Amino acid sequence: MNTSLITADNLSVQFPIGGGFLRKKQMLHAVDDVSLAIPKGSFFGLVGESGSGKTTLGRAMLRAAPISGGSIHYSDGKVNYNLVDLPKSELIEYRKRAQLIFQDPYAALSPRMTVRDIIAEPLEVMGITSSREETDERVRNIAAKCRLNLEHLRRFPHAFSGGQRQRISIARALVSNPRFVVADESVAALDVSIQADILNLLKSLQDDLQLTYLFISHDLSVVAHICDHVAVMYLGRLVETAPTRELFNAPRHPYTKALMSAIPSLDPDQRGNAQKLEGEIPSPTNPPPGCKFHTRCPHAIDICKQQEPKLDHLGVEHDVACHRWQELSGPA
Ligand code: SF4
């Protein structure tokens, strides 16, 4: 059994929104009672539609979103942190070990800074290096690993293509030598040909630097290609988790099946079989009772509208939250 780098138990993240004169504040339930363990050294995919809470869950694991309930623990063999009660001094240490690669390589980089300064900034802000020479050496090393030329370090971001900018973002995220990296839709803004290049880079860096990724994506075909584990989120809840091969061979939750059937198929015979996901994801300020997917699920029955399904353990590392997963799975 793998050891976990990050473990969330019954994690909830809520944000107050609205309010004002004679108006009550509402609570937005971005993450609701999520328990999840990310194995050390894994490429862990987190999928779901926009509004499913996956970005907020990733940020909570970086201690960049307020944790309203439950716990998150980080343990890399050298240090252990309880992220809920982390003192400020330890939060700085945690930031060195847990970093984020942004989605948009155009917005993430300051246009007024050289590439060298962009990559060096985390080292200086977190006090990791003590001299300019040491900083430059770290910057050159990580730039080379991210396949950037030394010549690139003197230039400004506008001189680069989207793929090259994403390499700069990756170098900046990895320069502090983190163990855990959240990649939030990190290839979504890139052309398909560039996506493959960046995914291959992330994979080779994982082996080289012993990284554990949380790879957040709405694109299941990308997740199937690169991740070894996948968790599926819907309206703040985890509905299914499994090793990638098992999830794609035998998805159990109706939402997972609907997401998978929407993947464009190269097989013309399969193209007509897509189960269209009807309707919109409900508002997280007013989630439906019972199973949160019941307003869109073609298999919903009375119990689904009244009772929230718990995660059932189907086997090693495969969990599903659906009252009817067994009968909907059909004969084995
Ligand atoms: Fe559909 Fe009911 Fe399962 Fe929810 S619990 S996914 S509504 S069958």
| pLDDT tens digit sequence for 64-123 | 999 999 999 999 999 999 999 899 889 999 999 999 998 877 787 899 999 999 999 999
User: Strands, DSSP E only, in 79-147?
Assistant: 80-82, 98-101
Amino acid symbol at 266: L
Vertex 249: Cα angle to 194 and 279 (nearest 5): 75
Q: Hey, how many other C-beta atoms are within 10 angstroms of the C-beta on 159?
A: 11
Residue 329: pLDDT band (50, 70, 90) is confident
Amino acid symbol at 263: I
Residue 332 pLDDT > 50, yes or no?
no
Amino acid symbol at 74: Y
Mean pLDDT of the chain: 91
Strand order in the sheet with 69-75: 23-39, 4-20, 69-75, 80-82
Looking at residue 113, its pLDDT comes to 95
- The percent of residues above 90 in pLDDT, for the chain, comes to 75
- The preferred substitution site among 240, 255, 312, 324 for testing ligand 1, maximizing ligand atoms within 8 Å of CB, is 324
CB of residue 291 inside a 6 A radius of ligand 1: yes
Look up residue 235 and give its DSSP letter: T
Question: Environment class of residue 321 by beta-carbon count within 10 Å: exposed (0-12), middle (13-18) or buried (19+)?
Answer: buried
CATH topology of domain 4-227: Rossmann fold (3.40.50)
CA–CA dist 128, 176 (Å, integer)? 7
CB of residue 242 inside a 6 A radius of ligand 1: no
Least confident of 20-24, 199-203, 318-322: 20-24
Nearest CA among 249, 259, 242, 244 for reference residue 311: 242
Indicate the pairing of strand 312-315 with strand 98-101.
unpaired
Please, are residues 307 and 330 in contact by the beta-carbon 8 Å criterion?
no
Looking at residue 273, its pLDDT comes to 54
Looking at residue 25, its pLDDT comes to 77
CB of residue 251 inside a 6 A radius of ligand 1: no
| pLDDT tens digit sequence for 27-74 | 899 999 999 999 999 999 999 999 899 999 999 999 999 999 999 999
In the numeric block, which tokens belong to residue 123? 């080292």
Looking at residue 27, its pLDDT comes to 86
Question: How far is residue 75 CA from its own chain's centroid?
Answer: 18
Looking at residue 107, its pLDDT comes to 80
Residue whose CA lies nearest to ligand 1 atom number 3: 322
CB of residue 187 inside a 6 A radius of ligand 1: no
| pLDDT tens digit sequence for 215-247 | 999 889 899 999 999 999 999 999 999 999 999
In the numeric block, which tokens belong to residue 16? 């107050």
Residue 275: pLDDT band (50, 70, 90) is low
C-alpha R_g of the chain: 21
Look up residue 83 and give its DSSP letter: G
Q: Hey, how many other C-beta atoms are within 10 angstroms of the C-beta on 75?
A: 15
Least confident of 116-130, 189-203, 270-284: 270-284
Q: Which atom of ligand 1 is nearest to the CA of 253?
A: 6
Residue 268 pLDDT > 60, yes or no?
no
Looking at residue 330, its pLDDT comes to 65
- The percent of residues above 70 in pLDDT, for the chain, comes to 93
Residue 189 pLDDT > 50, yes or no?
yes
Q: Which atom of ligand 1 is nearest to the CA of 309?
A: 5
Please, are residues 151 and 70 in contact by the beta-carbon 8 Å criterion?
no
Residue 187: pLDDT band (50, 70, 90) is confident
Q: Which atom of ligand 1 is nearest to the CA of 299?
A: 8
CA–CA dist 289, 249 (Å, integer)? 30
- The preferred substitution site among 277, 291, 296, 329 for testing ligand 1, maximizing ligand atoms within 8 Å of CB, is 291
Residue 287, classed as helix, strand or coil, is: coil
Residue 272 pLDDT > 60, yes or no?
no
In the numeric block, which tokens belong to residue 187? 């290839």
Looking at residue 102, its pLDDT comes to 84
**So where are the chain's domains?**
4-227, 248-332
CB of residue 252 inside a 6 A radius of ligand 1: no
Please, are residues 99 and 178 in contact by the beta-carbon 8 Å criterion?
yes
In the numeric block, which tokens belong to residue 78? 């050298």
